[in-house]
Amino acid sequence: MVTLAQSMTGDHFGRPCLVLANSADAGGLGKAAALGIPTAVVDHRPFGKDRAAFEAELVKPILASGADIVCLAGFMRVLTEGFVRHFEGHMLNIHPSLLPKYKGLHTHARAIEAGDAEAGCTVHEVTPRLDDGPILGQARVPVHADDTADSLAARVLVEEHKLYPAVLRRFAAGVKDPVFLPN
């Protein structure tokens, strides 16, 4: 989140206007506040299994912030079709695999278990289907013979910090051609 926010300077068409979390303990909140970015928390727990009610509250600070683009980063909740449709075409997500491979969780372990030669990350538009929207960019890293899920995740994270800002810069300027970073 910090790298993404710090990338929005100069001639960038976007500016960070809100960091929103579903837990007051989210590390990004303090970092955002230190950068002067407004923050908000909508805790999902009081809503129990009522995802629609939670998301109705989640929409409010986003709309109040005036955000044109919603960038998901570390938001580990599956969003309903209603929420996604509200922001469709204006919501991005970063996923730690080379989509369409390994949608969902445990992507690094799955890549290692499959014997993949490379892994990486993908920025995509969010659609109602999980990790299934149009791909806007990918970055690749080699999978080493001695990799663990954690060591692979650490190398992929370095690429995430390069890829997401590059994709957001283009997306905010109206360019949806995919970005493919060299490894």
Residue positions annotated with a catalytic role? 95
Q: What are phi and psi of 142, to 5 degrees?
A: -75, 150
Enumerate residues 6+ apart whose C-beta is below 8 A from 55. 79, 80, 82, 83
Q: Does 51 show up as a binding residue in the annotation?
A: yes
139, amino acid identity: A
Q: Does 183 show up as a binding residue in the annotation?
A: no
CA distance 151 to 153: 5
Q: How many CB atoms lie within 10 A of CB 131?
A: 19
Residue ranges of the binding site for (6R)-10-formyltetrahydrofolate: 51, 93
